[in-house]
């Protein structure tokens, strides 16, 4: 029987005692490897991550599983030859799923972290698909320059709302703008009018209410139906 891993979090790297105890009881071991995290998140072993442990663990933990992206594109898109705009692209989970789905002729990724941008370029240049990395804050991009966009996907940073909150070195919760960046996404989608837009974040009623208020259809999505990981997320769609 295949193991269904617990949600991949940065703490997989150095789990605190309470997590280690729980995993020992549930999975018979206290730690998981980076290869297991790649597998649980459905990334190929060949995907290139930075060598620094803490960085690679953070990036894989916050990534969107490409197998789930591929599944959602197949569910919502009947056409091919599309152009994708991947906002908050990170290490490229949504975009890799788009490539696997064979529905896109061009992928445009927006990410503000320079180092992530260079890893996006390295990984996507090996796939042989037309792509562009816009290394900018999503709020500063000239979207008209990008031409017609068919599909928008967005996974804004979730740290403000995560259960394992992102604390700075003084133990103070950092604010990375989950709600303002969600509102920005909603407004951008209203301007660009793509055929389909997909939004993902940690499951919080507050976020769900905001998106549904603007006509998005939301669900509490259990990713373990597609990937070997207990990962429950909010997925919203606007058609």
Ligand X SMILES: C[S@@+](CC[C@H](N)C(=O)[O-])C[C@H]1O[C@@H](n2cnc3c(N)ncnc32)[C@H](O)[C@@H]1O
Q: Closest residue (Cβ) to ligand X?
A: 90
Among 138, 149, 186, 197, binds ligand X (CB under 6 A): 138
- At 139, list the tokens: 């709020």
Cβ proximity to ligand X: between 23 and 134 the closer is 134
DSSP 3-state of 83: strand
Q: Is 158 in the site for ligand X (CB under 6 A)?
A: yes
Closest CA to 164 of 26, 2, 19, 28: 19
Of positions 9, 37, 63, 82, contacts ligand X by CB under 6 A: 63
112 forms part of the interface with ligand X (CB under 6 A): yes
In the shown chain, the binding pattern of residues 177 to 216 toward ligand X, with x for contact by CB under 6 A and - for none, equals ----x-----------------------------------
If binding is defined by CB under 6 A, does position 137 make contact with ligand X?
Answer: yes
Does residue 53 interact with ligand X by CB under 6 A?
A: no
Look at the alpha carbons of 159, 157, 237, 228 in this order and tell me if their dihedral is positive or negative: negative
The residue with tokens 């769609």 is: 237
Question: Is residue 94 near ligand X by the rule CB under 6 A?
Answer: yes
Task: Choose one: 59-67, 191-199, 215-223, 229-237; the region binding ligand X (CB under 6 A).
Answer: 59-67
Q: Which helix (H) or strand (E) holds 152?
A: strand 151-154
Residues contacting residue 47 through CB under 8 Å, at least 6 positions apart:
38, 91, 96, 123
């Amino acid at each position: 029987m295949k193991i269904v891993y617990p949600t991949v979090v940065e703490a997989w790297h150095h789990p605190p005692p309470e997590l280690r105890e729980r995993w020992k009881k549930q999975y018979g071991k206290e730690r998981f490897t980076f290869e297991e995290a790649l597998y649980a998140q459905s990334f190929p072993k060949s995907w290139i991550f930075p060598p620094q442990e803490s960085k690679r663990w953070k990036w894989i933990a916050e990534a969107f599983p490409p197998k789930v992206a591929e599944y959602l594109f197949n569910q919502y898109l009947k056409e091919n030859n599309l152009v994708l705009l991947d906002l908050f692209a990170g290490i490229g989970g949504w975009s890799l799923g788009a490539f696997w789905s064979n529905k896109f002729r061009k992928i445009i990724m927006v990410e503000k972290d320079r180092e992530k941008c260079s890893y996006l370029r390295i990984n996507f240049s090996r796939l042989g698909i037309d792509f562009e990395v816009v290394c900018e804050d999503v709020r500063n991009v000239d979207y008209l320059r990008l031409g017609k966009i068919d599909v928008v996907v967005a996974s804004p940073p979730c740290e403000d709302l995560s259960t394992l909150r992102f604390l700075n070195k003084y133990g103070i919760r950092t604010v990375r703008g989950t709600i303002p960046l969600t509102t920005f996404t909603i407004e951008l989608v209203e301007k660009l009018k793509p055929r389909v837009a997909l939004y993902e974040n940690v499951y919080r009623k507050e976020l769900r209410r905001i998106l549904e208020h603007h006509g998005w259809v939301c669900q509490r999505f259990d990713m373990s139906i597609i990937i070997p990981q207990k990962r429950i997320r909010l997925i919203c769609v606007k058609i």
